Structure 1
Amino acid sequence: MAEPGADKYFTENKAYAGLGRASLHSGVIFIAARGANIFVQLASTILLARILSPHDFGLVAMVIALVGFAPMLIDLGTSEASTQKTHITQADISTLFWLNIAVALVLTVLLAGGSSAVAVFFGEPSLTGIALVLSGTFILTALSTQHYALMRRAMQFRHIAMIDISANLIGSIVSVAMALTGWGYWSLVAKPIVTAALTVVFVWMSCHWVPGRPRFSSDVKELVGFGLGVTGFTMTDYLAKSADRIAIGYFLGAGPLGYFQNAFTIYSNLLSILTEPLHNIAASSLSKLRNDADELKRSWTLALSTLNFFSAPAFAVLAVTGQDFVVLLLGQKWAPAGPLLCIFAVRGIAHCVERTMGWLHVAAGRADRWMWWGVYSAVFQLMALAAGLPFGVTGVAISYTIAMFVLFVPALVYAGRPVGIGTKDVLQAVGPQTVAALTAVAVGFVVQQEFLRELSQFMRVFLSAMVCAVAYFAVVIGVFRVTDPLRLVLSVLRDFRAVRSPVSS
């Protein structure tokens, strides 16, 4: 069913003049908005961590680790499929919408019916109610999936950012208010429910498209086929990412899992500031360049090099300051999460690069290769989990970090093969930044232990961060002469300045 203004979502998906610049501007806006969103997330986590116990966080983490795959299964990869496809119709998207709803209904019934089994599995009776309530997020996710996809296809990233920030802010406020009034772990359960409900409202208000009757066609089958390949990756990837929390919760209990979960939350928030918004923008933009291999490769190289140029020092700084950072943010009772955050942050240097492989798989239209890489990667990471689990939560964090450094270059080489990107291209794009970041971590730890141990936590964090940043840029610029990302960012900032301060005629 067409609504006024809905036609813009169904135009041909192809390159146009100024696409590269538009993508860069969208990236800056979306990353800034994502940063604001993460600030809200971290602020709420800090407040909740000071009110609630590690056991409360561990209880909710158990259920989320089991059911967090649901949004990916509900999506069935169809949002990626519709984003990259050259031609789509309103009938195609309507059919995908109702398919998402059907999958969500099945999952809701399964989780609600199996909530008691979840409690029995972990030996925590309160998980029955938690699982039952969280099953309500499935339908809410399905109601916004295709609207989000249409907005990404039309590159309406400013609107998406505002929706995400608004829903997250209100959900966080509700969660903290509930915690302050004695709701305990239910305040953690409420946040995803409230956020998902508001997201549906805001997305439907912003995207003026209303689904019609489903109509299966060859185009829909093609979209679903591509989407199933994406789902194959996201499901195996989720298994690899969540198996650690399931295993820790089962073998070590809610307390250790609470420390692990909050350290991982801080780490994953920093990771998602860049990787999640940039995936949407890069996949949309590079898909439009599918018929121009040289331009696709050039755009990919510059984008990846720039991302890594700024993400690597961020994770290096977090690795050096993580122990003090956790105590300053969450309080002394969370000190055992500090070393875990340091280990996760080292992993982030490689992980941020590895997360970009989807740019190439989607742009090349090869969801099948993305799926198979997910299988290989999941098997490897599960082996790492088995090796690290006997050594507790620290062993798990270390083993996963080693696994990521083994996988991240092969992941991009495998993704890039269909479009002519090889090992040399990947190493040239990310090698200098990775070496510089690891060097900065080593220098930062040495300086911190030798000269800064007697300082206050705040001063130690500040000075350690400065030392780490200086060491990184000294190596990446002074030794490797990597400067293109700086010039690119400066040019984009000049564009924004020109827009905000036009010269009067």
Structure 2
Amino acid sequence: MSESLKEKTAKGLFWGGLSNGLQQILNLLFGIFIARILNAGDYGMVGMLMIFSAIAGIIQDSGFSIALINKRNATHKDYNAVFWFCALVGISMYLILFFIAPLIARFYGIPQLVPLSRFLFLGFLIGSLGTVHGAILTKKMMIKQKAKANIIAILFSGTVGVIMALNGMSYWGIAAQNITYMLTLVILIWHYSPWKPTLKINLNPLKGMFSFSFKVLITNIFVQANANIFSALLGKFYNPSQVGFYTQGNKWMVMGNTFIASMVNGVSQPVLAEVSAEKDRQLKIFRKMLRFTAFVSFPIMFGLALIAPELILITVTDKWLPSVPILQLLCIWGAVSPLNTLFSNMIVSHGRSNIFMWNTITLGILQFGILLLLHRFGIYAMIIGFATVNICWIFIWQRFARRFIGLRLIDMLKDILPYAFFALLSIGISYSIVIKIDNIYASVIIKFICAVILYLFFMWISRSVMFRESISFIYKKRRKI
């Protein structure tokens, strides 16, 4: 890895991790306030609709944002064509969902979903106006600017959500928070982006990107369907409260997962695309990213599972205790999820979006079948089946990685398993130390401190190169500051 690319990647990981950590802390604080006020049914009402918003957002993007990121020497005409396409499709999708809102409410048997869905669906319509600007910030690795936009949007929208919840507006407060976040984010990324659209509409440049973007579109539809199918099925087979408990547990898992994934994904796609023509070089870079992701992901997600009971009790009170085992099971999958995403980014960097597409479609169909098969056995059986399939899928990704960059199975396991083992060992020892402590505050503090110290100790005695490089980079950043 050349020094310029290495430094660019390191800075991206550093600022991505720092900014996403702050974003997750803000999300956590606002989430605690709102969850203490509202109940599981309120979260369930919004959770049942997220699959429609997510898929509509994917359709309006149609994979063109990733196509722009991967396209070398993209021009104003390319950006302008994608902008107007996304805006027009966003308007069309909103109108369709506006008129079928009664059918959605009838599917769940909840009439109140009609006005709620029509309001909530404004989110992806607003988001369609910022698709290109967000892609440009990613393409140019403007990590600080993206962080500022996200942090301000979280602060503003979180305040709106808390105020509405305090005034007894229940699930409307959650919906308003989502809309406010998207509106604020789009305004800010327009401000930070060096590019602005023009009124001269010419969609011809889309033709050159369509074969790539179409596969990404189909893939992302299945990605979002996979991510939200749980809420939809729970809403159909169970009740809003069950959806709410799942949504709460999943929200905490996503906080930890997003911190890791956003830090890595913010640099992996552009960096891997830059060296896609150099097989040996990309292999070296990819394995380093794989080790770094495992180094961060396993201790964070396993640690979150460790402190889940105390965390839920302290932050959102005992009314949310049913979400604890859900959160713990989801954390197992959440530890591996960023690794799968890293593999998919490598495949896409080679322009093979068709492989990404068929892998995701196959995984989605398999997951859906397993969830339908297991729903009669309860939510925990569904989550175990869901997590097992997703964890095992990393071996499918590895087969394709071997074809493109020569990554052997033994090398992948060497890069991943040591971090998983030491994270589990640290968590296990920490749990055994505090198992007889009744005070939840003392328990969570001791668990956290012990797990961190033990993991760092194991990294030190095992002479982890990734650990030493991370410490060295942070030390250099502090000296510069």
TM-score relative to the length of structure 2? 0.95
Contiguous gaps of at least 5 residues in structure 1: 1-14, 501-505
**Partner-residue secondary structure (3-state), 2:150:** helix
Contiguous gaps of at least 5 residues in structure 2: none
Identify the residue that residue 491 of structure 1 maps to in structure 2. Answer: 472
Identify the residue that residue 324 of structure 1 maps to in structure 2. Answer: 310
Instruction: Confirm whether residue 113 of structure 1 aligns to residue 96 of structure 2.
Output: no
Identity value in percent? 20
Identify the residue that residue 446 of structure 2 maps to in structure 1. Answer: 463
CA distance 1:438–1:380, shift in 2 (3 Å): farther
Identify the range of structure 1 (206-215 vs 132-141) with the bigger mean alpha-carbon deviation: 206-215
Instruction: Confirm whether residue 245 of structure 1 aligns to residue 261 of structure 2.
Output: no
Distance, in Å, in 2 between the alignment partners of 1:499 and 1:468 is 30
Identify the residue that residue 188 of structure 1 maps to in structure 2. Answer: 174
Identify the residue that residue 215 of structure 1 maps to in structure 2. Answer: 202
Identify the residue that residue 361 of structure 2 maps to in structure 1. Answer: 375
Identify the range of structure 1 (421-430 vs 43-52) with the bigger mean alpha-carbon deviation: 421-430
- 1:356-375 equivalences under 5 Å are 356-375=342-361
- 1:289-368 equivalences under 5 Å are 289-368=275-354
Which one of the candidate residues 408, 411, 424 is aligned to 1:422? 408
Is the 1:27–1:277 contact (alpha carbons within 8 Å) kept by the matching residues of 2?
Answer: yes
Distance, in Å, in 2 between the alignment partners of 1:201 and 1:489 is 35
Which one of the candidate residues 235, 239, 253 is aligned to 2:221? 235
What CA deviation, in whole Å up to 9, does each residue of 1:482-504 have, x standing for no partner? 5111122123213312432xxxx
**Partner-residue secondary structure (3-state), 1:355:** helix
1:125 to partner: Cα distance: 1.2
Identify the residue that residue 41 of structure 1 maps to in structure 2. Answer: 27
Is the 1:409–1:427 contact (alpha carbons within 8 Å) kept by the matching residues of 2?
Answer: no
Provide the aligned length of Structure 1 versus Structure 2. 480
What CA deviation, in whole Å up to 9, does each residue of 1:129-166 have, x standing for no partner? 11100121222111100011112111111101100111
**Partner-residue secondary structure (3-state), 1:18:** helix
What CA deviation, in whole Å up to 9, does each residue of 1:370-397 have, x standing for no partner? 1011012112222331343222222222
Distance, in Å, in 2 between the alignment partners of 1:118 and 1:188 is 19
1:477 to partner: Cα distance: 5.4
What CA deviation, in whole Å up to 9, does each residue of 1:437-483 have, x standing for no partner? 344444445x16xx5234211222222334444554565654xx351
1:208 to partner: Cα distance: 3.3
Partner AA of 2:475 in structure 1: R
Partner AA of 2:202 in structure 1: R
Identify the range of structure 1 (31-40 vs 64-73) with the bigger mean alpha-carbon deviation: 64-73
Distance, in Å, in 1 between the alignment partners of 2:215 and 2:323 is 36
Distance, in Å, in 1 between the alignment partners of 2:406 and 2:108 is 47
1:250 to partner: Cα distance: 0.8
TM-score relative to the length of structure 1? 0.90
CA distance 1:407–1:276, shift in 2 (3 Å): same
- 1:54-93 equivalences under 5 Å are 54-93=40-79
What CA deviation, in whole Å up to 9, does each residue of 1:379-437 have, x standing for no partner? 22223313432222222222222222221232244245323223233222212222333
Identify the residue that residue 28 of structure 1 maps to in structure 2. Answer: 14
**Partner-residue secondary structure (3-state), 2:144:** helix
Identify the residue that residue 119 of structure 2 maps to in structure 1. Answer: 133
Is the 2:279–2:404 contact (alpha carbons within 8 Å) kept by the matching residues of 1?
Answer: no
What CA deviation, in whole Å up to 9, does each residue of 1:240-291 have, x standing for no partner? 2211111111111001111111000000111011112421311011111112
**Partner-residue secondary structure (3-state), 1:69:** helix
CA distance 1:341–1:148, shift in 2 (3 Å): same
What CA deviation, in whole Å up to 9, does each residue of 1:157-181 have, x standing for no partner? 1101100111111001111011111
Which one of the candidate residues 149, 165, 172 is aligned to 1:179? 165
Distance, in Å, in 2 between the alignment partners of 1:475 and 1:413 is 30
Distance, in Å, in 1 between the alignment partners of 2:19 and 2:301 is 20
CA distance 1:357–1:132, shift in 2 (3 Å): same
**Partner-residue secondary structure (3-state), 1:290:** coil
Distance, in Å, in 2 between the alignment partners of 1:346 and 1:495 is 33
Is the 1:340–1:397 contact (alpha carbons within 8 Å) kept by the matching residues of 2?
Answer: yes
1:307 to partner: Cα distance: 1.7
1:202 to partner: Cα distance: 0.9
CA distance 1:311–1:235, shift in 2 (3 Å): same
Give me the CA root mean square deviation.
2.0
Distance, in Å, in 1 between the alignment partners of 2:398 and 2:26 is 32
Distance, in Å, in 1 between the alignment partners of 2:190 and 2:437 is 55
**Partner-residue secondary structure (3-state), 1:365:** coil
Distance, in Å, in 2 between the alignment partners of 1:437 and 1:320 is 11
CA distance 1:492–1:468, shift in 2 (3 Å): closer
Distance, in Å, in 1 between the alignment partners of 2:49 and 2:392 is 30
1:359 to partner: Cα distance: 2.2
Distance, in Å, in 1 between the alignment partners of 2:312 and 2:247 is 12
**Partner-residue secondary structure (3-state), 1:209:** coil
Distance, in Å, in 1 between the alignment partners of 2:209 and 2:175 is 34
Identify the residue that residue 268 of structure 1 maps to in structure 2. Answer: 254
Distance, in Å, in 2 between the alignment partners of 1:157 and 1:416 is 31
What CA deviation, in whole Å up to 9, does each residue of 1:51-82 have, x standing for no partner? 11111111011111332222222111111111
CA distance 1:473–1:376, shift in 2 (3 Å): farther
**Partner-residue secondary structure (3-state), 1:125:** coil
Partner AA of 1:462 in structure 2: I
